[in-house]
């Protein structure tokens, strides 16, 4: 009897480790995890991995095809495409993660207040509605135009339109959670509003926030690329996937790889983040899990 229970005990311990849990979900998410991990490791190590200086122009080497020295060839200024793509990933990923972190953090705070305090709710939600009514690219372009192209303003530009989505989600979770008897019991036990908000209610938002966070990372990377492509992003001296593509666009007919390689990286990265996000959502949603099991 004792022996038969041991493996299930082990399994329940393993369940708390994230990786085996993801791996248990099937082949697609596992590949996505591996690809994403690879992209992250390469971009973090990019200063050491890059064979050339990504900013170094050399007019003699303009638009060279792939060779042993320039594995993916060079761009119109003779800069090494491979180096630019892996360094560019660093900025893109940083912007994605930073935008997700900031919008989730602010969104959760605003959402908690909106969900818990009846009076604040109406005011906050109308402001959020107004934000949502504006096209997010337009807000982003306006913000960047006002503050000048820098990583900070791009992150802000992406964050502002994402916040209302997070707020709505958090508010919905809080609206149901605050009706739970354990929240009322906490009030009866004399717990302060602060304690109820942050110790009883906040944990309820974690699962949906992890999932929403991954989607925001993906869409932020994409928005960054679009902003860069439109020339409203980070200054062109700092390579990002978006502005590499924007610059390569002019030479698309002569040398399509200038657009294809950063585009491929972008696609792979976003696809794997989305796949992982779906997988995390499925693991965290007990109803979906039941259906599988």
Q: Give residues in contact with another protein (CB under 8 A).
A: 180-182, 184-192, 195, 200, 203, 293
125 vs 275, which CB is nearer to another protein? 125
Q: Is the dihedral of CA 128, 134, 135, 136 positive or negative?
A: negative
Query: 3-class DSSP state for residue 80?
Result: strand
CB of 199 to another protein, least distance (A): 8
Alpha-carbon distance of 239 to 84, in angstroms, equals: 6
13 vs 188 by CB, closer to another protein: 188
Dist CA 165 CA 212 (whole Å): 9
In the bound state with another protein, the residue whose beta carbon lies nearer, of 10 and 134, is 10
CB of 99 to another protein, least distance (A): 28
Extended beta strands in 215-262, E state: none
Tokens representing 204 are: 């309820």
If residue 253 lies in a helix (H) or strand (E), which one and from where to where? none
In angstroms, give the least distance from the CB of 206 to another protein: 9
CB of 7 to another protein, least distance (A): 12
Q: What is the dihedral of CA 194, 200, 204, 210, to 10 degrees?
A: 60
Distance CA 194, CA 182 (A): 15
- Give dist(CA 44, CA 97) in Å, integer: 13
**Shortest distance, CB of residue 203 to another protein, whole angstroms?**
5
Question: Radius of gyration of the chain from Cα atoms?
Answer: 23
- Select 9 or 59, whichever has its Cβ closest to another protein: 9
Least distance (Å) between residue 185 CB and another protein: 6
Q: Between residues 146 and 188, which has the closer beta carbon with respect to another protein? A: 188
Instruction: Return the residue matching tokens 């099991």.
Output: 293
- 117 vs 252, beta carbon nearer another protein: 117
């Amino acid at each position: 009897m004792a022996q038969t229970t041991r493996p299930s005990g082990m399994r329940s311990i393993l369940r708390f480790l994230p990786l085996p849990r993801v791996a248990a979900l099937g082949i697609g998410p596992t590949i996505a995890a591996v690809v994403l991990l690879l992209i992250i490791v390469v971009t973090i190590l990019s200063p050491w991995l890059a064979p050339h200086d990504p900013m170094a122009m050399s007019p003699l080497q303009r638009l060279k095809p792939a060779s042993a020295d320039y594995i993916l060839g060079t761009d119109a200024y003779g800069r090494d495409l491979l180096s630019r793509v892996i360094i560019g990933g660093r900025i893109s990923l940083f912007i994605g993660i930073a935008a997700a972190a900031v919008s989730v953090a602010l969104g959760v705070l605003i959402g908690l207040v909106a969900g818990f305090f009846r009076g604040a709710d109406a005011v906050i939600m109308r402001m959020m509605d107004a934000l949502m009514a504006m096209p997010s690219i337009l807000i982003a372009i306006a913000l960047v135009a006002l503050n000048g192209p820098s990583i900070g303003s791009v992150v802000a530009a992406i964050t502002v339109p994402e916040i209302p989505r997070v707020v709505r989600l958090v508010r919905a979770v809080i609206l149901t959670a605050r009706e739970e008897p354990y929240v009322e019991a906490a009030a009866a036990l004399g717990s302060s509003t602060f304690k109820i908000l942050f110790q009883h209610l906040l944990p309820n938002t974690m699962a949906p926030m992890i999932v929403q966070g991954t989607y925001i990372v993906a869409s932020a990377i994409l928005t960054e690329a679009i902003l860069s492509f439109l020339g409203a992003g980070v200054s062109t001296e700092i390579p990002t996937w978006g502005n590499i593509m924007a610059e390569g666009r002019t030479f698309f007919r002569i040398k399509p790889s200038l657009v294809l390689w950063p585009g491929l990286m972008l696609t792979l990265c976003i696809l794997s983040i989305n796949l992982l996000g779906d997988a995390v959502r499925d693991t965290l949603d007990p109803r979906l899990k039941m259906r599988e099991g």
